[in-house]
Amino acid sequence: MRERIPVGVLAATGAVGQRFVSLLAEHPWFRVVSVTASDRSAGKRYADAVNWVIPGEIPAAVADLVVRPTDEDPGSVPLLFSALPADVAKGLEPGLVAKGYVVASNASAMRMTPDVPILVPDLNPDHVRLIEAQRRRLNTRGFGMAMANCSSTGAVFPLKALNEAFGVEAVHIVTLQAISGAGYPGVSSFDILDNIIPYISNEEDKIETEPRKMLGAVSADGTAIDFADMTISAQVHRVPVMDGHTVAMSVKLRNRASLADVREAIAAYQVAEDARDLPSMPERTMLLRDEADRPQPRRDRDTGRGMTITVGRLQPCPVFDYKLVTLSHNTLRGAAGGAILAAEYAVARGYMDEIIGEAAFAAQ
Amino acid sequence: MRERIPVGVLAATGAVGQRFVSLLAEHPWFRVVSVTASDRSAGKRYADAVNWVIPGEIPAAVADLVVRPTDEDPGSVPLLFSALPADVAKGLEPGLVAKGYVVASNASAMRMTPDVPILVPDLNPDHVRLIEAQRRRLNTRGFGMAMANCSSTGAVFPLKALNEAFGVEAVHIVTLQAISGAGYPGVSSFDILDNIIPYISNEEDKIETEPRKMLGAVSADGTAIDFADMTISAQVHRVPVMDGHTVAMSVKLRNRASLADVREAIAAYQVAEDARDLPSMPERTMLLRDEADRPQPRRDRDTGRGMTITVGRLQPCPVFDYKLVTLSHNTLRGAAGGAILAAEYAVARGYMDEIIGEAAFAAQ
Amino acid sequence: MRERIPVGVLAATGAVGQRFVSLLAEHPWFRVVSVTASDRSAGKRYADAVNWVIPGEIPAAVADLVVRPTDEDPGSVPLLFSALPADVAKGLEPGLVAKGYVVASNASAMRMTPDVPILVPDLNPDHVRLIEAQRRRLNTRGFGMAMANCSSTGAVFPLKALNEAFGVEAVHIVTLQAISGAGYPGVSSFDILDNIIPYISNEEDKIETEPRKMLGAVSADGTAIDFADMTISAQVHRVPVMDGHTVAMSVKLRNRASLADVREAIAAYQVAEDARDLPSMPERTMLLRDEADRPQPRRDRDTGRGMTITVGRLQPCPVFDYKLVTLSHNTLRGAAGGAILAAEYAVARGYMDEIIGEAAFAAQ
Amino acid sequence: MRERIPVGVLAATGAVGQRFVSLLAEHPWFRVVSVTASDRSAGKRYADAVNWVIPGEIPAAVADLVVRPTDEDPGSVPLLFSALPADVAKGLEPGLVAKGYVVASNASAMRMTPDVPILVPDLNPDHVRLIEAQRRRLNTRGFGMAMANCSSTGAVFPLKALNEAFGVEAVHIVTLQAISGAGYPGVSSFDILDNIIPYISNEEDKIETEPRKMLGAVSADGTAIDFADMTISAQVHRVPVMDGHTVAMSVKLRNRASLADVREAIAAYQVAEDARDLPSMPERTMLLRDEADRPQPRRDRDTGRGMTITVGRLQPCPVFDYKLVTLSHNTLRGAAGGAILAAEYAVARGYMDEIIGEAAFAAQ
């Protein structure tokens, strides 16, 4: 077994940052050696700086790390997992990539940069090729990878299966999103107890755009993604659920398909061979359930250690063609877990070979 | 001021039955003189039989009534408000109408009977005319009126406004329904705490059908409704909210309309003149809010004493034409309050003149 | 009917400030003419500055007031209701009193000042006499009144009844406090959904001290309160409830009393004659319920427009003498409503006669 | 490794029954070969009969078992885990013991039978000796073991530590109990959303009695428990929390102890050597946390796979001596997990040697 790659977590004290720290604690390939946070926390022990809000305890190996200020050099680590808020990410992440770091970011900052992939190894593994164009453009060994918006994550997998099999022309999406998606402290209990909020800033725009990039094809010259030709409409809601985004979808297909066809397209969904054995890849990317009342966030979010998308309520739609409901764990698959999975794939495909070598050296 | 009309409440000990009892306590036209429940409760004082689960106290005038068994004669009352469960309603309500009672029912049992109106005075007051055909068919002075399904209630008002102004071709509906819609004990806390259930039995069918009757026109011969020519698709969810159904809708219009046109059509919604002064009619049937994050169930459900529909999030839809979100109080406007409002209108229009006279007499 | 007294609300944009504005909208004696908030909001229309989070709409008469900065002169109003946070209150309130304002404060800042009454007209009306000593000390016509901590409010009424009848030696108190007690945004939903937090900063200290002042007697020289001679132990919890603090108590009496005696002492609780007709005084200060499962926050908090304390679960205690549970609405009785009630009493007792005259003049 | 002991689960389709099935799925010593339920479910496949409401999937090995009727012979299994409701348990469990079965019951039916131990291996392992007296009395190889009431479970461990070190004279207990403690469907969401219920039938009695047996000593003749000499007062509440009972306690000691002494007594709590290596024994029975805001149900209930009791908020009590708060997982440690742990200990101590041999034989 080779040595674990030293990594850093940017904004490690927030809710998603904590998920990164937690998931990486026992990771077979990566080990956290650097954590950053805002100036207020910088200089403290991680365990003293963090208000740990997720399940489990602070991993011992990270508890004693001294928090670095986010706007300084994160140190001798080739790979950075970023849980930065959108506005900070916008200012910092491109500079880090330019300095030669690999940045796997949970923020939206780089998602729409043409040669930055929204990389999901069990969805669009070929998008990894954008890295080459990105490196050429920036003339650096570093590169950036973006993660899907947490509510898009549940939607794109069935869309991928249906788009490949029958073509998807349009989709209407309504989300019921968990409070953990807003981070910590995030949503005030005053707003959400016994209540629904039919609004999340910018979220509808993202859901109407990002899946089209994620489901698109690498352009002929390898420098961008040709967006998938489908129209998406989204209405979003915050609901009093801790974790797990529910997405109700109605899909208009380009080609006729029976219910059995659609069922089969989803049930038979396959992951690319070179992505199947990644440490964070679940046994099943997408699980189709036939019970009338599933998926449910509390009962299904932890399937596949939070990395499996659960699909259910598949039925014909009187207006479009088919309706279904998906459920994904928003801070695991939809955030930290997804970013780690993407980084694993980049490593597996050799995109970090050169810098890992040096970093491992530097870290000794 | 004339004497108040004696009325009965069927299934008066359930959650909707309690709403009837509560709303009728101070009603200027009606007074509850008869309450029925299952055999288990029959013979007890109402206050002893009921497990009062709604806000406020049991009205003194009803507390001491002796509960009658639901399957026996409800007594000398011309008007019955029915909170019977669907299966019981199916067996009992038609018989009560045949005996000469007026039955305003919250159950789905009679909704699809052609000459039974789903009567909403501020939506389709002309449907009241079906009563004449119904009486002729049954050869009785009694008649039945059905109420809208509680989740359809929020949807039909904006659909009415848009259909009249621009024609509605299709609508995609996703509901987030409060737990009180399932009655008492209804939804187990084990199922809904920190959770969403994407299923309510038969609910999607109802939402895809009933609004088309409610928005339709009385047929030429006055014996039925010509359903509105629109296609509806529904996906329903139970959410951990006490009261107030949220409905996210996307609407495809037949005629082009600007956002301003659509806004105006909803904002200018008018109630028929002869329905405006009913005791339970709210000042505004439909309230359009412009804040980005409204409507919200906890903050908007009690508007207009729970009888106003709040509409918000009006915006263009990339797939259809316009998206919006509505909110209505499911046990007030969507159940007991709606049934009382319909009965008020039937009284105001004179449909109960004859039987009221006799009943008032019999009740003395 | 005399002219309404112009009043100001300090920190009017917060959750408690909104309650003040809402309750005062229709008040027969007071009308809001001045609202203050932090510098960020100052200069804006109230309706634009506030994020209205409580039920109902912003009162029209206040919506258009221009928000003043809290640290400037609140204007020509004799009476200020303060919803200031504790630290700001500490710096500002004494100065306002010194300038001649009457300050009815919801903050803890003045509670322990010897000649500032924690005035609850249906509990300790004679404490109003401290005002005279306070005025002498400060040489001003203004004076300060403090309100009870919101969780003490539920406890002091039964303690008063029992202390007067039998003497209370010790009491063990455990609270289950609603999230609205923490203001807005207050408690993060991340912390409280599907959870309990067994901690509220400084709250246990307050509950162990303040009731002893509230239940004490005015000292012989009229300049302070001789604290009640009872020992209180408190354990506090934040619970996922919107409004309504539940308090479980076990009481050790000085004199033997039967369960019937204790029941009677609570049921027969009387309000001083000169306090009974205040506009905000509920019909019953304390309501004793006999059902096995009451009081409950959602079902009992609005009793008496949120001003009645509901007591239940009265039973013998194997360790002390009697156990009971109380419930009070924490932002009505326990905050804004309580402060308004106290101000009403001070007015009724003539403590504001002189300054009202001048202020009414100045406000013209 | 020896063959796994075949066991049965009584009332296997309920919420606690499901916990048994789930926990036993991977158990190194036991394997489920028999499941029972009410007549309605009898004859069906377990997977078809059960409405699976707990996390995870139905274990494959149990899914295909045919459900037996609870009132018939549970088959050739030496050991039965009972999740029967109290009234059914009362009628059935003694008969099963008389027939030679070992019954580890979660019900209260046998708890107060003098020679039936409420066996908690890391609390009162010596109580296992009652089995000998019980067998003699019943003249059978079978025996019954009772489990602690789920809310007593969190309380008894710190009481044990303090009682041994300093003597406990009295304790005041207030519980905040999770909804899963009421089983499925159990608590209606109508009752508990945004609410607290200060009542659970018979629960206060149990908490005031059972811990005294659990903390008592085996009598000189080995046929009963001499109850611990302490007085307990309990007030119970149902709260909107999924899993995890919070218990606020105030303890009066017989001997003086400093805060440091009390801390040490709890922190140094030791499990008997012969119980330490049981499969279900957590690494730590009791974990003392020093953070001001712990324990919390959502964050602490899964500690030690739900078998560790978390204690916090330890502080002096103005009325008694010390206050603290404990948290335990009510359906793991407080129900199924606790029963399995007890059965493991009985096996480890050899109390089932003889019958296991035959049963293993019979099961082949």
Q: Cα(D255)–Cα(D269) distance, rounded to whole angstroms?
A: 19
Handedness of CA B112, B115, B120, B126 (dihedral sign): positive
Bridge partners (DSSP) listed for residue B68:
B36
Provide, for chain B, the percentages of residues in helix, strand and coil under a 3-state DSSP scheme, each rounded to the nearest 5.
35, 20, 45
Residue A103: per-residue pLDDT: 97
Q: Do A190 and C185 touch (CB under 8 A)?
A: yes
Q: Do A184 and C180 touch (CB under 8 A)?
A: no
The DSSP letter of residue C129 is G
Q: Report how far apart, in Å, the C-alpha atoms of D335 and of each of D94, D147, D215, D330 are.
A: 19, 7, 18, 6
Domain count, chain C: 2
Three-state DSSP at C103 gives: strand
Residue with tokens 């316009």: B322
A31 membership: H or E segment, kind and range:
strand A30-37
Confidence grade of residue D361 (pLDDT, cut at 50, 70, 90): very low
The yes/no answer to whether this complex scores an ipTM above 0.85 is yes
The DSSP letter of residue A346 is H
The residue in chain C having the minimum alpha-carbon distance to the alpha carbon of residue D174 is: C174
Residue with tokens 């305890």: A57
What is the number of residues in chain B?
A: 364
Residue B364: per-residue pLDDT: 39
Q: Do B55 and C299 touch (CB under 8 A)?
A: yes
Structure-token pair, residue B171: 């609508």
The percent of residues above 70 in pLDDT, for chain C, comes to 97
Q: Do D299 and A242 touch (CB under 8 A)?
A: no
Residue D335: per-residue pLDDT: 93
Q: Cα(A345)–Cα(A349) distance, rounded to whole angstroms?
A: 6
Residue B2: per-residue pLDDT: 66
The answer to whether B360 contacts chain A (CB < 8 Å) is: no
B194, HSE (Cβ side, Cα atoms, 13 Å): 26
Residue C234: per-residue pLDDT: 98
How many CB atoms neighbour CB C259 within 10 A? 12
How many CB atoms neighbour CB A346 within 10 A? 20
Q: Which of B154, B199, B191 is nearest to B311 (CA)?
A: B154
Q: Do A237 and B248 touch (CB under 8 A)?
A: yes
Angle between helices C150-166 and C259-267 (to 10 degrees): 120
Closest-CA distance of chain B to residue D62, Å = 23
Same domain, yes or no: D211 and D252: yes
A256 by Cβ neighbours in 10 Å (0-12 / 13-18 / 19+) ranks as exposed
Bridge partners (DSSP) listed for residue B235:
B174
Q: Do C55 and B242 touch (CB under 8 A)?
A: no
Residue D2: per-residue pLDDT: 66
Q: Do B196 and A176 touch (CB under 8 A)?
A: yes
The DSSP letter of residue D71 is T
pLDDT at D25 > cutoff 70? yes
Angle between helices B203-214 and B150-166 (to 10 degrees): 40
Residue B247: per-residue pLDDT: 98
Same domain, yes or no: A68 and A107: yes
Residue C2: per-residue pLDDT: 66
The answer to whether D208 contacts chain C (CB < 8 Å) is: yes
Rounded average pLDDT over D280-302: 97
Q: Cα(D271)–Cα(D269) distance, rounded to whole angstroms?
A: 7
- Write out pLDDT tens, residues C157-166: 999 999 999 9
- Write out pLDDT tens, residues D30-56: 999 999 999 899 999 999 999 999 888
Cis check for the bond before C185: say yes or no (omega within 30 of 0). Answer: yes
Residue D364: per-residue pLDDT: 39
pLDDT at D72 > cutoff 90? no
Indicate the residue of C195, C241, C292 with minimum beta-carbon distance to D195: C241
Give the dihedral of Cα atoms B249, B254, B257, B262; nearest 10 deg. Answer: -40
Handedness of CA C320, C323, C328, C333 (dihedral sign): negative
The DSSP letter of residue C188 is B
Neighbours of chain A (3+ CB pairs under 8 A): B, C, D
The DSSP letter of residue B3 is P
Same domain, yes or no: B83 and B183: no
Q: Do B184 and D192 touch (CB under 8 A)?
A: no
The single-letter code of the amino acid at C323 is: K
Catalytic sites of A, residue numbers? 150, 245
Residue B55: per-residue pLDDT: 86
Same domain, yes or no: B138 and B30: yes
Residue with tokens 């301003």: B260
The residue in chain A having the minimum alpha-carbon distance to the alpha carbon of residue B313 is: A198
Residue A213: per-residue pLDDT: 97
Q: Do C186 and A189 touch (CB under 8 A)?
A: yes
Same domain, yes or no: C182 and C38: no
Q: Are B238 and B179 in contact (CB under 8 A)?
A: yes
Q: What is the extent of the structural domain holding A345?
A: 5-148+336-363
Low-confidence ranges of chain A (pLDDT < 70): 1-2, 358-364
Structure-token pair, residue C110: 């003045």
Catalytic sites of C, residue numbers? 150, 245
Q: Are D81 and D8 in contact (CB under 8 A)?
A: yes
The percent of residues above 90 in pLDDT, for chain D, comes to 90
Higher pLDDT, C363 or B324: B324
The answer to whether C32 contacts chain A (CB < 8 Å) is: no
Closest-CA distance of chain A to residue B314, Å = 11
Q: Do C237 and D231 touch (CB under 8 A)?
A: no
How many CB atoms neighbour CB D126 within 10 A? 11
Q: Do D320 and C172 touch (CB under 8 A)?
A: yes
The answer to whether D363 contacts chain B (CB < 8 Å) is: no
Same domain, yes or no: A274 and A192: yes
Confidence grade of residue D322 (pLDDT, cut at 50, 70, 90): very high
pTM over 0.90: yes
Neighbours of chain C (3+ CB pairs under 8 A): A, B, D
Confidence grade of residue C361 (pLDDT, cut at 50, 70, 90): very low
Bridge partners (DSSP) listed for residue D40:
none
Q: Are strands B68-69 and B30-37 parallel, antiparallel or unpaired?
A: parallel
Q: Report how far apart, in Å, the C-alpha atoms of A186 and of each of A85, A86, A147, B311, C188 are.
A: 12, 14, 20, 26, 7
A284 by Cβ neighbours in 10 Å (0-12 / 13-18 / 19+) ranks as middle
Closest-CA distance of chain D to residue B193, Å = 7
Q: Residue A202 contacts by C-beta under 8 Å, 6 or more apart in sequence? A: A108
Indicate the residue of D55, D193, D299 with minimum beta-carbon distance to A194: D193
Residues of D in contact with C195 (CB under 8 A): 241, 296-299
Indicate the residue of A193, A242, A302 with minimum beta-carbon distance to D194: A193
Q: Are B251 and B324 in contact (CB under 8 A)?
A: yes
Q: Cα(B201)–Cα(A61) distance, rounded to whole angstroms?
A: 50
Same domain, yes or no: A85 and A183: no
Same domain, yes or no: D59 and D160: no
Q: Residue D72 contacts by C-beta under 8 Å, 6 or more apart in sequence? A: D36
The DSSP letter of residue D25 is T
How many CB atoms neighbour CB D56 within 10 A? 12
Residues of C in contact with A240 (CB under 8 A): 189, 193
Q: Do C298 and B194 touch (CB under 8 A)?
A: no
Neighbours of chain B (3+ CB pairs under 8 A): A, C, D
Handedness of CA D62, D65, D69, D71 (dihedral sign): negative
Same domain, yes or no: D305 and D169: yes
Closest-CA distance of chain D to residue A308, Å = 13
Residue A364: per-residue pLDDT: 39
Domain CATH number, residue A49: 3.40.50.720
Residues of C in contact with A188 (CB under 8 A): 184-189
Structure-token pair, residue D116: 């039936």
The answer to whether A192 contacts chain B (CB < 8 Å) is: no
Same domain, yes or no: B65 and B85: yes
**Helices marked H in D99-149:** 130-138
B63 by Cβ neighbours in 10 Å (0-12 / 13-18 / 19+) ranks as middle
Indicate the residue of D186, D190, D191 with minimum beta-carbon distance to B190: D186
Closest-CA distance of chain C to residue D116, Å = 26
The residue in chain D having the minimum alpha-carbon distance to the alpha carbon of residue A297 is: D55
Same domain, yes or no: C160 and C196: yes
The residue in chain D having the minimum alpha-carbon distance to the alpha carbon of residue A53 is: D299
The answer to whether D302 contacts chain A (CB < 8 Å) is: yes
Indicate the residue of A198, A246, A317 with minimum beta-carbon distance to B233: A317
Residue C211: per-residue pLDDT: 97
Structure-token pair, residue C58: 């912003």
Domain CATH number, residue B189: 3.30.360.10
Q: Cα(B361)–Cα(C19) distance, rounded to whole angstroms?
A: 50
The single-letter code of the amino acid at B190 is: F
Indicate the residue of C171, C196, C319 with minimum beta-carbon distance to D239: C196
Convert B18-40 to b/e letters by CB count within 10 Å (16 or more is b): bbbbbbbbebebbbbbbbbbbee
Over chain B (364 residues), what is each successive 10-residue block's mean pLDDT?
87 96 95 94 95 92 95 88 94 94 93 96 98 96 92 96 98 98 96 98 96 98 97 98 98 98 96 96 97 97 97 98 98 95 97 75 42
Q: Do A55 and D299 touch (CB under 8 A)?
A: yes
For chain D positions 219-278, those within 8 Å of chain B (CB to CB) are: 240-242
For chain C positions 128-187, those within 8 Å of chain D (CB to CB) are: 170-172, 174, 176
Q: Cα(C150)–Cα(C108) distance, rounded to whole angstroms?
A: 10
Read off φ and ψ for residue A343, nearest 5 degrees. -65, -40
pLDDT mean across residues, chain D: 94
For the residues of C282-319, what is the DSSP string, one character each?
A: -S-SEEE--STT---HHHHTTGGGGTPEEEEEEEE-SS
pLDDT at D169 > cutoff 90? yes
Angle between helices A203-214 and A150-166 (to 10 degrees): 40
Residue A69: per-residue pLDDT: 95
Residues of C in contact with A53 (CB under 8 A): 190-191
Q: Do B242 and C298 touch (CB under 8 A)?
A: yes
Q: Are C242 and D194 in contact (CB under 8 A)?
A: yes
Residue B362: per-residue pLDDT: 45
Q: Do A189 and C194 touch (CB under 8 A)?
A: no
- Write out pLDDT tens, residues D228-272: 999 999 999 999 999 999 999 999 999 999 999 999 999 999 999
Same domain, yes or no: A37 and A68: yes
Closest-CA distance of chain A to residue B322, Å = 10
- Write out pLDDT tens, residues C280-323: 999 999 999 999 999 999 999 999 999 999 999 999 999 999 99
Residues of B in contact with C193 (CB under 8 A): 194
Indicate the residue of B55, B242, B299 with minimum beta-carbon distance to C55: B299
The residue in chain D having the minimum alpha-carbon distance to the alpha carbon of residue C172 is: D319
The answer to whether B298 contacts chain C (CB < 8 Å) is: yes
Q: Cα(A121)–Cα(A125) distance, rounded to whole angstroms?
A: 4
Confidence grade of residue C364 (pLDDT, cut at 50, 70, 90): very low
Q: Do A246 and B176 touch (CB under 8 A)?
A: no
pLDDT at C182 > cutoff 70? yes
Rounded average pLDDT over C128-145: 96
